[in-house]
Amino acid sequence: MEERFTGAKTQEEQINSTLLTDFYELTMANGYFENGFSDTIAYFDMFYRRVPDGGGFAILAGLEQMIHTFQSFDFTEEDIEFLRKKGIFCEAFLKYLREFKFECDVWAVPEGTPVFPGEPLVTVRGPIIQAQFIETILLLLINHQSLIATKANRIVRAAEHRGIMEFGTRRAHGASAAIHGARAAYIGGCIGTACTVADRDYGIPALGTMAHSWVQMFDSEYESFIAYGKAYPENCVLLVDTYNTLKSGVPNAIRAFHELKPAKMAIRIDSGDITYLSKKARRMLDEAGLQDCKIVASNSFDEYLIRNVIDQGAQIDMFGVGERLITSKSEPVFGGVYKMAAIEEGGRIVPKIKISDNIEKITNPGFKTVYRLYDKETDKAIADVIALADEEPPGGEEYEIFDPQFVWKRKTITNFYASDLRKRIFDKGKLVYELPRLDEIRDYCKAQIDTLWDELLRFENPHKFYVDLSQPLWDMKNDLIENHKIK
């Protein structure tokens, strides 16, 4: 991929994302400051609780935008004056904000990694005001792109090696959702996007041909096809459903292709019974000697409709997918949360826990990491283990794993190796992580999904992947629950 253009600004950058935050982050920060907690070191984990669409896993995305945002935090004089006029922030705190400099340590799972509920995907360690303040923007960026990357990958897998083009810009929830959504969709496996600025800024191939208005501009469908083919002889894709797909569209496309002889050719069907029309169109193209002509389909597709038309024998080579991808229409929220896990007192880490009547909302305390265990013979992922950061990685002749919610479900694994999923991103505010290119993230994502068992890839009732807690972490969590007292 070509070097990315860095001059474009997203909506967040244009409005100064430092104040793109929930207001209570600022009221808490002022409260921490007035209560003498400014220098208290805290640990926060970002994780999610449930896989969208009932799937087997999600795909982490959005890390690069998070990094750029952390690097650009700056309270302007306009920001300070705005906060002053609220009449609730002390002047000493406003002076602190004026001199604000991001100084946190950050660890994160790389973009494109398949991840599971409860795992610490991003951990932030730093002064409580800073570590708390970045919650909103971190969740905004990671939640959105992880949602779209996850949805895109479901659609890509449903297509069974047929190309998926992201066509959702006009239905996205704003400019940043379109641009970052295209980026996330590419990580998830899409081959390109209709969003031109995503090509300029990220090198994602911009794809697209014509609208029905192009055909309507000419006196005849055939003339419109000839004019388009002459303009784009290297890759001529003709939209054949403006009037009647089988009676005029495909015959006129065949006639135009024979006259133009383009290097590459395809027809696009955007309405009607896609399965029926594609079968008929394929036969017509083949009988005309145009076996190399591809068929592209678009029209409110998602993973289920794509799977259905393929099962019915649709002759589709590529799909354009818009609103149901860019908005993740079937489940448009990725429920990532950001919770305190520990603070430092006297040079030691003091674990913190959130307790709830809802079991899934009880947090895992302490400073942690997550290991993925792989079978040595197949390199397939067996389980993940959330462990305290100072523990040795799982190893030995055998290792017993269990489901923390169903402790009687235990499994002993052998002949495995462990890999720490997380990487150090910031060291006291300094970036120490080398950002991969977007095509590298996409290739990494595909390779990591190939390590998952087929049973985990099912759309309905996927196999449950084990996410275990190490024994020390399990003991710490239970001790905190047992010893918890309302004060």
* Closest to 277 (Cα-Cα) out of 307, 304, 242, 316: 316
Clarify whether residues 371 and 250 are in a common domain: no
Beta-carbon contacts of 138 under 8 Å, excluding residues fewer than 6 positions away, are 46, 66, 122, 124, 338
- Residue 406's pLDDT is what? 62
Clarify whether residues 140 and 105 are in a common domain: yes
Does the residue 26 lie in any domain? yes
Clarify whether residues 299 and 337 are in a common domain: no
Please say which residue of 312, 346, 371 terminates a domain.
Answer: 312
Type of residue found at 137: I
CA distance 457 to 81: 52
The confidence band for 407, taking pLDDT boundaries of 50, 70 and 90, is low
CA distance 190 to 174: 20
Clarify whether residues 142 and 45 are in a common domain: yes
Q: What number of other Cβ atoms are within 10 A of residue 291's Cβ?
A: 9
pLDDT in tens, 218-229: 999 999 999 999
**Rounded average pLDDT over 456-474:** 94
State both tokens at 17: 């994302």
**Rounded average pLDDT over 91-108:** 96
CA distance 438 to 203: 8
Instruction: Provide the CB-side half-sphere exposure for 301 (13 A, CA).
Output: 32
- Residue 243's pLDDT is what? 97
Does the residue 257 lie in any domain? yes
Does the residue 162 lie in any domain? no
Clarify whether residues 399 and 478 are in a common domain: yes
State both tokens at 313: 């024998």
pLDDT in tens, 182-220: 999 999 999 999 999 999 999 999 999 899 999 999 999
Q: What angle do CA 319, 262, 293 make, to 5 degrees?
A: 40
Does the residue 1 lie in any domain? no
- Residue 471's pLDDT is what? 93
The confidence band for 13, taking pLDDT boundaries of 50, 70 and 90, is very low
Please say which residue of 280, 312, 344 terminates a domain.
Answer: 312
Domain count, the chain: 2
Q: Which domain holds residue 282?
A: 209-312
Q: Are 466 and 386 in contact (CB under 8 A)?
A: no
Identify the residue whose tokens are 């942690």.
368
State the chain's mean pLDDT as an integer. 94
* pLDDT surpassing 60 at residue 355: yes
Does the residue 153 lie in any domain? no
The confidence band for 287, taking pLDDT boundaries of 50, 70 and 90, is very high
Clarify whether residues 134 and 232 are in a common domain: no
**Rounded average pLDDT over 106-130:** 98
Does the residue 118 lie in any domain? yes
* pLDDT surpassing 50 at residue 3: no
Percent of the chain exceeding pLDDT 70 equals 95
Q: What is the CATH number of the domain that holds 269?
A: 3.20.20.70
Clarify whether residues 218 and 357 are in a common domain: no
pLDDT in tens, 24-72: 999 999 999 999 999 999 999 999 999 999 999 999 999 999 999 999 9
State both tokens at 274: 């896609």
State both tokens at 50: 């449930």
Type of residue found at 389: A
* pLDDT surpassing 60 at residue 317: yes
Clarify whether residues 34 and 125 are in a common domain: yes
- Residue 396's pLDDT is what? 85
**Burial track 459-474 (b if 16+ CB lie within 10 A, e otherwise):** eeebeebbbbbbeebb
- Residue 2's pLDDT is what? 45
- Pairing of β 163-166 and β 318-321: parallel
Helices (H), 37-134: 63-71, 77-86, 91-98, 128-133
* Closest to 413 (Cα-Cα) out of 371, 358, 441, 445: 371
DSSP 248: I
Q: What is the CATH number of the domain that holds 89?
A: 3.20.140.10
Please say which residue of 252, 283, 312 terminates a domain.
Answer: 312
Clarify whether residues 17 and 122 are in a common domain: yes
Clarify whether residues 349 and 445 are in a common domain: yes
Does the residue 138 lie in any domain? yes
Strand stretches in 152-242, DSSP E: 163-166, 192-193, 236-239
Clarify whether residues 426 and 358 are in a common domain: yes
- Residue 77's pLDDT is what? 95
The confidence band for 15, taking pLDDT boundaries of 50, 70 and 90, is low
- Pairing of β 294-298 and β 318-321: parallel
* pLDDT surpassing 50 at residue 158: yes
Q: Are 57 and 1 in contact (CB under 8 A)?
A: no
Does the residue 179 lie in any domain? no
Clarify whether residues 341 and 284 are in a common domain: no
State both tokens at 364: 């895992």
* pLDDT surpassing 70 at residue 12: no
Q: Does the CA dihedral 351-352-357-360 come out positive or negative?
A: negative
Q: Residue 424 is inside which H or E element, if any?
A: strand 423-427
Identify the residue whose tokens are 């909103």.
136
The confidence band for 5, taking pLDDT boundaries of 50, 70 and 90, is very low
